[in-house]
Structure 1
């Protein structure tokens, strides 16, 4: 017997357009079982808690700190797709080089919707951390057709209140999706001898003007100084390089892991 999470994962893989044979090879589950689950997965789906945004008096998501982190991940590397029968799949695609971030993403998804299943779809070089729920669009109203940088991205007042209350979690989510910590170096003549100096800095790159503005507003809120870099005439990257600001980022964000 397979538990509901295993069944939902197999059905979700098949819903991506993959053949039953392919899903069977990956999961070790027979094609017959997968086919039967496709027809009856909804009746055996667990009934979760109601969405806090769907109530007559909407409230904040469970665990607002986890939500702030997940919001940052979603704005960088996430998407929401219609699944089946009114269910939506939230996917955050992350590089396999950072297993700690993949674990943190899964933990955030579980914290925000604790009664919904979460699973990972392994792909070449990356993992799609996925959770299915009917309520992802109301929890993330930025969901919509087209690429994020080609449409307005504006936080709802309740989302802004969460970001204002948990700015570092939001910043960390954005850095973990579309940012990095690197070490730059330069040389100087000291006493006639050229010496090499290294210094760390953080970068965040995103084509969306709105998303970059959300990132810099959060940096302003925590007192981290930043500058805008440009590729040609188009600004696309935010740099945090001043020593005190890098120290703040190291305390609250740190290198990817």
Structure 2
């Protein structure tokens, strides 16, 4: 009979666990876990470290030939209903200041937000949770910046624009189902783009009035992105909404006409 070999590290761990906990404790833990009780609850009930309970669960699954698949609520994979309005906003954030890491043992969506705008950080996290509630979401604070991260490989399903290299170096095009969501919630998509790669500022100029030069101030929106495709998605959506715009240089889109700024103020507004 062939006996499967185990590594020295595994053998040592098994010896340590056998010394620390009797078989009765392990059996009670396995019985609870097979009823679907989470590891953390089992660990608390039996006074056993959570890592030890996780190891027992792993070894039990291996002995029984059970293949573990992490539960997910990916709308594309499970037909799970999701908040499409939140998705339109999140899509805009991702195209502006987001990226996906997708490696064999590392999967997450990151949205980067300036810490100057705490409301934006909260909205980014809320949008991630509204699209997929099961993945864990965390914030990583750096100097002047917060990275909002949601951990699951299924963000590549929901954001198929993911790919190697920088977004402005590859083609960015929405799939039909994404375009349908953007068409239904265009303002949320514009909000996400402006909140990531845009701003609302106050410009000023001078005019001669009654022979006297006077300072004149007016609000203006800017959107800046190196990707021709992403800028086109932004301007196409503005056209759909009746917002007048112009391109001021290679990367910048400006909205400055009074009626169009009023529309943007009503539906987008400054970051906060």
What interval of TM-score do these two structures reach, taking the shorter chain for normalisation?
0.7 to 0.9
Whether contact under 8 Å (2:74, 2:80) holds in the other structure is: no
Contact 2:219 2:256 in 1 (8 A): yes
Structure 2 residue 271 is the aligned partner of structure 1 residue 256 = yes
8 Å CA contact 1:53–1:61 kept in 2: the answer is no
Aligned to 1:149: 168
Name the CA distance, whole Å, in 2 between partners of 1:95 and 1:209: 24
Contact 1:89 1:130 in 2 (8 A): yes
Secondary structure, in 3 states, of the residue corresponding to 1:118? strand
Task: Note the alpha carbon deviations across 1:22-42, whole angstroms, 9 max, x for none.
Answer: xxxxxxxxxxx99x59x96x9
Q: Does 1:204 align with 2:204?
A: no
Larger radius of gyration: 2
Structure 1 stretches (4+) deviating beyond 4 angstroms? 45-49
The counterpart of 1:69, out of the listed 55, 69, 89, is 89
Q: Whole-Å Cα distance in 1 between the matches of residues 163 and 155 of structure 2?
A: 12
Structure 1 unaligned blocks of 5 or more: 5-32
Post-superposition Cα deviations, 1:14-58, rounded to whole Å, max 9, x if no partner, equal: xxxxxxxxxxxxxxxxxxx99x59x96x97x99544322124xxx
The structure richer in strand per residue is 1
Distance 1:60 1:240, change over 3 A: farther
Over aligned residues, Cα RMSD in angstroms?
A: 2.5
CA contact (8 A) 1:149 1:207 kept: yes
Asked whether 1:81 is paired with 2:101, we answer yes
**Structure 2 SS opposite 1:54:** helix
Report SS of the residue matched to 2:215.
Answer: strand
Whole-angstrom distance in 1 between the partners of 2:236 and 2:172: 14
**Bigger helix share:** 2
Q: Distance in 2 between matches of 1:175 and 1:207?
A: 14
Q: TM-score, normalised by structure 2?
A: 0.74
Aligned length: 215
Once the two structures are TM-superposed, the CA of residue 196 in structure 1 deviates from its matched residue by 1.0
Does the 8 Å CA contact 2:72/2:135 hold for their aligned counterparts?
A: no
**Tell me, which stretches of 5 or more residues in structure 2 are unaligned?**
1-37, 39-48, 59-67
Give, in angstroms, the shift of residue 247 of structure 1: 0.1
Report the counterpart of residue 15 of structure 2 in structure 1: none
Quick one: distance in 2 between partners of 1:60 and 1:197?
52
CA contact (8 A) 1:81 1:88 kept: yes
